[in-house]
Amino acid sequence: MPPSAQPAPFPAPATPGHGKLLTMSDTDLAKLEADRHRIRDSYLRPAADRPASTARGLHHTALISSDVEQTVRFYQDLLGFPLTELIENRDYPGSSHFFFDIGNGNLLAFFDLPGLDLGPYAEVLGGLHHMAISVDPARWDELVARLAEAGVEHSVHSGVSVYFKDPDGARIELIADPLGEMYGTKVL
């Protein structure tokens, strides 16, 4: 199998003295499926039987920006998410904390950390796979076209999702399905 076609490695469960990486070919898929069904059967309640959430919603998700102005141009000018505030980060003097309106009272936030060598921050600061932002279906095609016009590499899936990376490498999805639904399946 060519290197580019090999399954992505996954860390092995934390066992003292063991640092082996697993690949999907090493994984017992039948066991994973059985575990998924067991967990679903044990914890997933019918919608009518679920208690109300104690949360009001996602206040904001915070990512890291290597360049404040570049990030503002990308999210506000290209994607149409208005910048709502730009303040000093209380935890890191000289750093900015800034916010974009992504609709329905939800915010997308960023920090820049000038003078701090982050290296490949995605690997050392967290495990974000991607962030999906709901957009109006009437605007989805326009946003996909804007990405193309700006030369942003992107991938369209299922006719309602487009995936791309922001200037700092965070993987973003714009999805035109209704909130609480994904590809025709109710998820809320």
Q: What is the CATH number of the domain that holds 106?
A: 3.10.180.10
Q: Judge whether 16 lies within some domain.
A: no
Check residue 4 and give its pLDDT: 42
CA 167/CA 175 separation, integer angstroms: 19
Mean of pLDDT over the chain: 82
Q: Judge whether 147 lies within some domain.
A: yes
Q: Comparing 128 with 104, which gets the higher pLDDT?
A: 104
Q: Print the SS3 string covering 114-181.
A: CCCCCCCHHHHCCCCCCEEEECCHHHHHHHHHHHHHCCCCEEEECCCEEEEECCCCCEEEEECCCCCE
Q: Judge whether 174 lies within some domain.
A: yes
Check residue 10 and give its pLDDT: 30
Q: pLDDT (tens digit, 9 = 90+) per residue, 109-120?
A: 998 988 877 665
What's the whole-number mean pLDDT along residues 171-175?
92
Does the structure show a pLDDT above 80 at 75? yes
Residues in the chain: 188
Mean pLDDT is lowest, of 21-30, 103-112, 154-163, 170-179, for: 21-30
Q: Comparing 53 with 131, which gets the higher pLDDT?
A: 131
Does the structure show a pLDDT above 90 at 83? yes
Q: Judge whether 14 lies within some domain.
A: no
Check residue 117 and give its pLDDT: 72
Q: Judge whether 142 lies within some domain.
A: yes
Tell me the pLDDT band of 179, cut-offs 50, 70 and 90. confident
Could you tell me the pTM of the whole model? 0.68
Using alpha carbons, select from 131, 163, 168, 170 the residue that is nearest to residue 144.
163
What backbone torsions phi and psi does residue 60 show, to the nearest 5 degrees? Answer: -160, 155
Q: Judge whether 44 lies within some domain.
A: no
Strand bridging mode 185-186 / 154-157:
unpaired
- Total of domains in the chain: 1
Q: Judge whether 95 lies within some domain.
A: yes
Q: Judge whether 18 lies within some domain.
A: no
Q: pLDDT (tens digit, 9 = 90+) per residue, 11-43?
A: 333 334 444 555 667 788 999 999 999 999 999
Q: 135 lies in which domain range?
A: 60-114+128-186
Does the structure show a pLDDT above 60 at 152? yes
Tell me the pLDDT band of 180, cut-offs 50, 70 and 90. confident
Using alpha carbons, select from 70, 99, 69 the residue that is nearest to residue 86.
99
